[in-house]
Each structure stands twice: as C-alpha cells, then as structure tokens.
Amino acid sequence: MTEKFAPAVTALLDEAQELVGQEIHVELGTKKVGYIRHGQSRQVENEDGSITIFVTDITNVDYTLSHELLHLLMAHHGYPQIRFNLTTGKEMFDRQLWATAIELYNVVSHVIIGAQQQELQLVDQVAQEQYLAGILAEVPVEEDKPDRLAVFRTLALLDTLVFYHGETKLFSRQFKEKYPLSYYGAQRLYKIVAAKPVDSPFTMRRAVVNLFAAFDPWLESVGLATTNHNQLITLDGVFSARQQRLQVRQVFTILHSELTVRKGDQSAYIGIGKTDHQNAFILTAPAGKQQSADFFKHVYSQSIQEFMREQQIPFVERK
C-alpha cells in the first residue's frame, strides 16, 4: 500500500492492526463519483486471518477509510453486536429483516463513529457537502404515498440527521420538498436516537433497543409490515458486575418461539430481557418433557455470569 492517508487515518490503521493482531490491507478502487456514501467501503476477512478493506470510491478516501476502521475498532472494543441466530423459514424475508436491523444498528453506531471522526477533524465542510450530495444523488424522490422504497428513504434520512447531529439548516427545505413523509419519519426516529447520550457499549445498546422498539410503530403508521426485531434479532447483553451475579430468572424471561434456530433448524427459546424486552440470547432445549423441565430449572437458577459462560453466549461487561 503506497497511498498516503491523513495522519489521523494512518494512526487509526495502526491502532486497528495492533488491536486485531492481523495485517490490514487497504485496496483503493478507481471510481470517483464526487460524493460520499457509507456503502463505498467494505471489509473482508481473508483465509490467513488478515483483513482487507476495499474502498470502492475514492472521492474522500480519508473519510471513507476512517469510517470503516472505526466500525472495525468498535467491534473489537467490546461494543455489543447484533446476531442473526433465528430464521422465519423464508430466506428472502429473513434477508430483508436482517438488512433493516443492520441499518438501524449502524445508525446508532454512526453516532459514536461520527463523534470520533469530528474529533479527528475528518469531517470538514467539504465532507459535509459531499455527504449531502450523496443523499440527493442516491435517494429517489418520494411518491405521493409510501412505496417499497419508504424504508430505504427513511433510514437514509435518519442516518443523515445523525451525520449532521440533528442540524437541519443545510437540507431541511430540500428534504421537505423531495421526501416529506420519509423526512417526517426520520425526524421522529431521530428523537429516539438523540434522547440520551450514546458514548459507551451500554448506552449504545440502550439506543439500539429503543430504536428497534420505535421502528415498528412507525412502520404501522405508514401501512407497512412490522419487523419484530426485539425477538428476531439477538443483541448482545451488557451487564454490570452486580447484574452478572443475579440469577437468570431475575433478568430474563425465556420464551418458546415459532422461529427456528438457523443452524440445525431446531425449535428456539429466546431470552427476553425483563426490562428492555429485547432478545439477548437463544437456547435449544433437550428432548423429552422432564429433561426440558430440568434444563430450564437449572438455567433459571444460574447466575448471569455462570449461564453465559456455560452456554458460550457473548456478552459485554459494563465498566
């Protein structure tokens, strides 16, 4: 890699390589559309364990590469991840639901990533203009009523509000003209994201859960089918030392689900948080009525820490 990046980006690359413990290769494309979108980069883990980050558009390499590196760093700094452990049995439907969950999760991630990019002085006036140009270029003008692109538009505009930290002077008039329904929906959802600070694994998880919970009522309000992400999508738990000592029965309700486990196609039991009503893990139970009863009796009596480690369920320790 001979391309020179801004010092702040080079430092992020060095930090990521040290944290991951593997070589990170950067491959730059030749496309240059003149605007930035978050889909202009991706990362791939290679067979030897190294990682390649592809920057497919070089309009603003420092912004795009730093954005991808910060996503990578978040995953390795103990931020909760979303996991697709369950299936409806309909592959295309599953993929649509997963894609929506990823976008909602990324919106919240971008609060943290955007703040870090601002601190590193990687979001200047040029980047702000390029971001808005990307939205106007790639988000189609709205129909008179919600269509199949309503979710795409609304989530793109929600991400825009996050990028600009809720400041709307630069685009408010244009968005009201081009995307009146979607912009209203995005503003409604942005209030959920911006209600409390998002600056740690715990606050990030809280914001994702709240956004999942707000998303279905918005879908219903525009006549679209709901997602039920609170049950379909597993979001790693974040527990304090005190919470880890509590019994499973004190923190979770374990529900039998009509959904099945993706690996093995077994009947699924979902661990739903009693406070936030979000899926934090899935289980399969042994066959046989008595064996199953004994299994759940044992599970409910365990501490959160014992249970998570015994079942090899990922979780984050709240500092």
Contacts of 73 (CB under 8 A, 6+ apart): 12, 15, 16, 19
Pairwise CA distance, residues 70 & 75, whole Å: 9
Annotated domain spans of the chain: 1-77, 93-228, 236-317
- Cβ neighbour number for residue 28 with a 10 Å cutoff: 17
What confidence score (pLDDT) does residue 1 get? Answer: 45
Pairwise CA distance, residues 286 & 292, whole Å: 5
What confidence score (pLDDT) does residue 310 get? Answer: 96
What confidence score (pLDDT) does residue 148 get? Answer: 82
Alpha-helical regions (H) of 139-200: 150-163, 172-178, 180-193
Among 143, 133, 121, 198, smallest CA distance to 166 is for 198
Pairwise CA distance, residues 139 & 250, whole Å: 45
Among 182, 192, 67, 161, smallest CA distance to 120 is for 67
What confidence score (pLDDT) does residue 3 get? Answer: 66
Which mean pLDDT values do the consecutive 10-residue runs of the chain (319 residues) have? 82 95 94 96 94 97 98 94 95 95 98 97 97 97 85 97 96 96 97 97 98 97 93 97 98 94 88 97 90 95 97 95
Convert 239-292 into a string of H (helix), E (strand) and C (coil).
ECHHHHHCEHHHHEEEEEEEEEECCCCCEEEEEEECCCCCEEEEECCCCCHHHH
Q: Could you identify the residue written with the tokens 């004190």?
A: 250
Both tokens assigned to 295? 């299994």
What confidence score (pLDDT) does residue 145 get? Answer: 76
- Angstrom CA distances, 4 to 26, 27, 50, 65, 272, stand at 11, 12, 21, 12, 48
Among 206, 224, 225, 318, smallest CA distance to 273 is for 206
